[in-house]
Structure formats: structure tokens, C-alpha cells
Amino acid sequence: TFGARASVVLTGRNVPYGFLIPQGIDIDANNVIYVVDSMNKRFHVIQYLSDDFIRKNPIPGFELK
């Protein structure tokens, strides 16, 4: 689970992974997640950090166990 209820339209604040009535979700072959956030009039693009992704794209200070 990730995200929280947040209204960019009402508050004017951009809240990372803040959703208000998400209407659609898709995941592509590269484990990129796309979420349509209708009331905030935007879409989110989120990279799923699978073990394979982290092996190919090491993150400094993060170690797979």
C-alpha cells in the first residue's frame, strides 16, 4: 500500500503519491506503474523497485538481502 488522500485542487499543495479518486492503473513490462488521478487532474508514474531492477540499477546505501 502506498499513497494517501490529498487534494491538489483544493489545497494547491503537491503531495507525492497523494490521490483523490484514482480512476485507472496500469503496469508495463518494465514494472512501471501508471495511475490516473482524476480529481487532481494528473497521473503518477512510479517505478516498482523489484530485486531485478535494483540489481541492474544499484541504489547507493541500499543492499538486497
Q: How far is Cα 5 from Cα 46, in angstroms, rounded to an integer?
A: 17
pLDDT at 1 over 60: no
Q: How far is Cα 2 from Cα 44, in angstroms, rounded to an integer?
A: 12
Mean pLDDT of the chain: 82
Q: Residue 16: exposed, middle, or buried by beta-carbon count in 10 A (0-12, 13-18, 19+)?
A: exposed
pLDDT at 12 over 80: no
Instruction: Cite the DSSP H helix spans in the chain.
Output: 8-11, 51-56
